[in-house]
């Protein structure tokens, strides 16, 4: 069965960086892209961006451009999302999810990774 397993919770100080991993299994990793979505405590879903696992093409939310990097390692079927210059309002649960294209729906989601930014 399709599974996306994310790395564990992180606590970071303002200004630091965080890198979240997402290991996929149960399907051909290079056949689907990976979308990243975050959710601040008690808030709605916010799209962060999408990466093609086949070509490495990326598409980012405008407000995060310049602070976020998305990469994949096809040899281990793992996707990574790095967010730099962390601020307190980056505190959120970060989800990786499978998305055929950036415009398509998201059919499988990881369990989420809580990133807390606090001094």
Partner 1 sequence: SYELTQPPSVSVSPGQTASITCSGDKLGDKYVYWYQQKPGQSPVLVIYEDNKRPSGIPERFSGSNSGNTATLTISGTQAMDEADYYCQAWDSSHVVFGGGTKLTVL
Q: Name the region of 53 (left: φ>0; alpha: ψ -120 to 50; beta: rest).
A: alpha
Residue 119 is classified by DSSP as -
From 114, 90, 109, 85, select the one nearest 98 (Cα to Cα): 109
Decide if residue 55 touches partner 1 (CB under 8 A): no
Decide if residue 89 touches partner 1 (CB under 8 A): no
Among 10, 12, 27, 61, binds partner 1 (CB under 8 A): 61
Residue 57 CB, nearest approach to partner 1 (Å)? 12
Give the interface with partner 1 as residue ranges (CB under 8 A).
Answer: 35, 37, 44-47, 50, 59, 61-62, 95, 102-107, 109-112
């Amino acid at each position: 069965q399709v599974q996306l397993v994310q790395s564990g919770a992180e606590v970071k100080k303002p200004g630091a960086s965080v890198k979240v991993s997402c290991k996929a299994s149960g399907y051909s990793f290079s056949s689907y892209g990976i979308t990243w979505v975050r959710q601040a405590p008690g808030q709605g879903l916010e799209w962060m961006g999408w990466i093609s696992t086949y070509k490495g093409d990326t598409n980012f939310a405008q407000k995060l451009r310049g602070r976020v990097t998305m990469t994949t390692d096809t040899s281990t079927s793992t996707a990574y999302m790095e967010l730099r210059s962390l601020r307190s309002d980056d505190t959120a649960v970060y989800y990786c999810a499978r998305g055929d294209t950036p415009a398509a729906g998201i059919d499988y989601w990881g369990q989420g990774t809580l990133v807390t930014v606090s001094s």
